Amino acid sequence: MKVLESIERFALTNRIAVECLDKCLSYKELKEYSDKISMYLLKEFGEDRTPIIIYGNKDNYILPVMMGALKSGRAYIPLDITFPENRVREIIEEVKPKVIFNFTNISLEEDSALEVKGDQIEDILNIYFSELASKETWVKDEDNCYILFTSGSTGKPKGVQITKRNIDTFVIWFEEFLEFDDSEEKVLNQVSYSFDVSVIPIFIGLGNGKTLFSLNKDTLEDLKSLFTQLASSNINHWVSTPALAEICVTFDDFNSMRISGLSKFVFAGEVLTKKLVKELMNKFPNVKIINGYGPTEATVLISAIEIDNNMIESEKGIPIGYPIDSCELGIIDESGNRLKPKEKGELVVIGNSVSKGYLNNIEMTDKAFFKDKAGNQGYKTGDLAYYEDGIIYYCGRKDFQIKLNGFRIEIEDIENNLRKVTNIKNTVVFPVFNEEHKISHLTAFVVLNEDNELSNLKNSTLIKSELKKFIPSYMIPRNIKIVKEFPLNTNGKIDRKKLMEDLK
């Protein structure tokens, strides 16, 4: 596996693998620590290859744990600290891990799993010997490398399984597209490890000997600290969702004078707007801007393109790019027939980057994944798109699944969890679009079981407070409107169109 081989190679140098808040981890340390973690997993859990769970944010020890899991032939499951405790426990119940590496202050106290706290990592590193590690135990082609849990329509998260073959397929294509080599450079490592865009700095950055410049949750919540760190970071490659850049462009000093070594922006995870691209082009006139697209189920990205002025001036939206080399992308109609150029339909992907399916969820796997006539794995993205001159353009979701601030969210997931809140009878959630046709926030309409005579603001505050127990903060609607009853259409269903009239 390239990233593991790269760590071995650069461990012989003085290069830094990752830095966060002035704390650094060298490639030599990353190799040594990951070897020891792998030895710990192999000795304590033997042939059992149950995935490990990693609960935390950007602690420097997380990467050695990830790589140690891969060296021991196991997948890792990253859960960010923004996940509420209830959802973490749901995933633990689904996975039934033998060990949980917990880098938070929350004690999970799982009877069925050994919990290793962040400060206990030192004990493992002091006991086990890195020189005993062997490449024979590393993950193989069809082994899972990581499993990411995404929003599910039933209110229960789905675990997307990504194998070594999936990652290799993605990495070979995208590192060539990015023109990455093994020169000594820095890559922004801001995206949560529980979100698939983080795979770019981990597997392509570390896979080419780069230094990952990490921004943790506390830094991202403090705009002054965020900009101070970015300005002194000396990063060469920016990898994030557009949301982070939209925050940064509000600073006058966010430009090529302050971040002079920057050579490219790589965006993925949500719609990239022309407004943002124009601002970045003005502030960073010689920096490439790359727009990427792809579902978690097909390993991060399946298309990408460098944005130029012609695309900005065009009446069409910003394209999502040219297809990944080793996979086949197609646009189909409702009957599964291939559509012609410029005809809009559902985007499907077939090839080695496509996941084997959802963990322990045959029903949902069968709905979304398929085999073509040659037996190749395929995935129906649920996204609407069209081709023109070999380039793909995104046209929105086929269903109620959306992207907000880089996170994939299913509206039904929010609705199902809202219904768990005390005194809520029913609810409907809508995405609200801005002038750029990009989702700016969510609004929920709520019918109460009993009128409590509280104001809409007070009810909204109480509902949001309780909802935090069930779903991550990024899924909580910004606006909550209390209504006495939902309007019905002629079919006796909730009249969503009528409700949408009151969105703004």
CA 304 to chain centre: 17
The sheet that has 357-358: what strands, in order across it? 114-117, 99-102, 52-56, 76-80, 144-150, 158-163, 357-358
Indicate the class that CATH gives domain 327-397.
Answer: mainly beta
DSSP at 192: -
Query: What are the helix (H) ranges across 137-273?
Result: 164-177, 199, 217-220, 223-231, 242-248
Q: Between β-strands 237-240 and 264-267, what pairing exists: parallel, antiparallel or unpaired?
A: parallel
Q: Which residues contact 58 (CB under 8 A, 6 or more apart)?
A: 20, 189, 193, 214, 215, 216, 217
Look at residue 181 and give its three-state secondary structure. coil
Dihedral of the CA atoms 45, 51, 52, 54 (nearest 10)? 170
Where does 2-143 show beta strands of DSSP type E?
16-20, 23-26, 52-56, 76-80, 99-102, 114-117
Mean pLDDT by 10 residues, the chain (504 residues): 97 96 95 96 94 95 98 97 89 95 89 89 92 91 96 80 98 96 96 94 98 93 88 93 87 91 94 90 97 96 97 91 94 93 95 97 96 96 93 85 82 88 90 84 91 92 94 93 79 74 75
pLDDT value, residue 490: 44
Look at residue 338 and give its three-state secondary structure. strand
DSSP at 201: I
> If DSSP states are collapsed to H, E and C, what string results for 364-431?
HHHHHEEECCCCCEEEEEEEEEEEECCEEEEEEECCCEEEECCEEEEHHHHHHHHCCCCCEEEEEEEE
- For residues 235 and 249, give the distance between their C-alpha atoms in angstroms, rounded to a whole number: 16
Q: What CATH number should be reported for the domain whose range is 401-500?
A: 3.30.300.30
pLDDT in tens, 205-257: 999 999 999 999 899 888 889 888 998 899 999 999 888 888 888 888 899 99
**Which one-letter amino acid corresponds to residue 327?**
C
Domain ranges of the chain: 2-298, 327-397, 401-500
The dihedral region occupied by 124, where left means phi > 0, alpha psi between -120 and 50, and beta the remainder, is: alpha
Burial of 208 per CB tally in 10 Å (0-12, 13-18, 19+):
buried
Residues making up the chain, counted from first to last: 504
Q: Which residues pair with 323 in a beta bridge?
A: 303
Greatest CA separation for the chain: 72
What crossing angle do the helices spanning 164-177 and 2-10 adopt, rounded to 10°? 70
pLDDT value, residue 504: 60
Indicate the class that CATH gives domain 2-298.
Answer: alpha beta
Identical fold at 2-298 and 401-500? no
Q: Distance of CA 458 to CAs 116, 341, 442, 452, 466, Å?
A: 40, 51, 18, 10, 13
Q: Between β-strands 407-410 and 401-404, what pairing exists: parallel, antiparallel or unpaired?
A: antiparallel
Q: Distance of CA 214 to CAs 103, 172, 420, 453, Å?
A: 16, 24, 36, 47
Q: Nearest CA to 167 among 194, 137, 190, 146? A: 146
258-263-267 Cα angle (round to 5): 100
Tokens (6 digits) for 301: 């990205």
